[in-house]
Amino acid sequence: MTPGGFPATFRRVRRIRDAIEDFGEMLFFALDTLRWAVRPPFRPELILVQMAAIGVGSVFIVTTTSFFTGVVLALQANYAMRQLGAEGYVGGSVAISLARELAPVLTALFVIGRSGSAISTEIGTMRVTEQIDAMETMAVNPVQYLVVPRLLASLAMFPLLTMVFDALGYAGAYLMGIYVARIPEGPFLEHTRTLVDPKDIFHGIFKSLIFGAVVAVITCWRGYSASGGSKGVGESTTRAVVASSIAILLVDVGFVLVTVGSGK
């Protein structure tokens, strides 16, 4: 054994154990949040504020990226399908990609970048400046006051933003396909109608609902468990963004594995 090998291994094992413990604590935190979500007072004004921050605050980035995502997808699909004389299928392929996968996943990733980091920083700052402790002293439950409104706002806003992403993404693909790539409008729209089912839209919206809950819980938990002053807040924000982005992709893979072949 190399000098210091045993302590290094021990430290590694310790780190894994800590990560698992942190994950377990986060699950308890999520259950606690759900429990407090159904108890009065419900504080609709706080939920509205968070809806504005998470949803309306992310509209610009979501609309911009969705439009250009649709444009790029249509261009690439047209390039591939024109080789086969099947450019009429461009609209359908773009619409189904957006509805089932890209809209919920990309919306979640952009909202994490825009609002998830803000949530984590805000709650983390309150933690390190002992504002959360002060709340507990005043018999105000911090989970109910800080986390529940953010969770409910995320649950409401993620599906709305996903729907906006779907609409603008398809609009971008339509403009690019019809006016730039000169794809005949009839086949473009008809194949979209043939390939896409309302179930695909519902699938994406259901996914975004789950993503909203995942993002809210992870970002709030990272802020809630922050420590070590302003440096600690910065670190917890970074961890929140990374962890929630990876979680979104993992949950998405899980969805695909569960629903593949089931026709849902």
- Could you tell me the CA-to-CA distances from 186 to 74, 168, 234 in Å, in that order? 16, 20, 52
Question: CA–CA separation, 23 vs 37, rounded Å?
Answer: 21
Are 108 and 158 within 8 A, CB to CB? Answer: yes
**Residue choice 19, 20, 27, 48 for contact with other proteins (CB under 8 A):** 48
Footprint of other proteins on 147-176 (CB under 8 A): 157, 159-161, 163-164, 166-167
Residues 240-259 touching other proteins, rule: CB under 8 A, are 258-259
Nearest approach, Cβ of 114 to other proteins (angstroms)?
14
Nearer to other proteins, 132 or 200 (CB): 200
Among residues 43, 49, 145, 178, the one that binds other proteins under rule CB under 8 A: 49
Burial class of residue 37 in the structure, from the number of CB atoms within 10 Å of its CB (0-12 exposed, 13-18 middle, 19+ buried): middle
According to the binding rule CB under 8 A, does residue 201 interact with other proteins?
yes
State yes or no: residue 200 binds other proteins (CB under 8 A).
yes
Q: Packing angle between helix 90-97 and helix 59-82, nearest 10 degrees?
A: 140
249 alpha-carbon distance from chain centroid: 9
Taking the C-alpha atoms of residue 237 and residue 222, their distance in angstroms, rounded to an integer, is: 7
Q: Please say which residue, 143 or 233, places its beta carbon nearer to other proteins.
A: 143
# of chain residues touching other proteins (CB under 8 A): 41
For other proteins, the closer of residues 145 and 206 by Cβ is 206
What whole-number distance in Å separates Cα of residue 208 and Cα of residue 252? 10
| Per CB under 8 A, 12 contacts other proteins | no
Amino acid at 70: G
Q: Which stretch binds other proteins (CB under 8 A): 14-22, 31-39, 232-240, 244-252?
A: 31-39
Structure tokens at 261: 């072949």
Q: Find the shortest distance in angstroms from Cβ 18 to other proteins.
A: 27
Reduce the secondary structure of 6-22 to three states and give it as a string.
HHHHHHHHHHHHHHHHH
Radius of gyration of the chain measured on its C-alpha atoms: 22
SS3 41: coil
The reply on whether position 137 binds other proteins by CB under 8 A is no
**Minimum CB distance to other proteins smaller for 9 or for 259:** 259
CB of 97 to other proteins, least distance (A): 14
Minimum Å gap between C-beta 201 and other proteins is: 6
Say how far apart CA 264 and CA 52 lie, in whole Å.
Answer: 32
**Is residue 194 at the binding interface for other proteins, with CB under 8 A as the rule?**
yes
Q: Which residues here bind other proteins, judged by CB under 8 A?
A: 31, 34-35, 37-39, 48-49, 51-52, 55-56, 59, 84-86, 157, 159-161, 163-164, 166-167, 192-202, 206, 258-259, 262-264
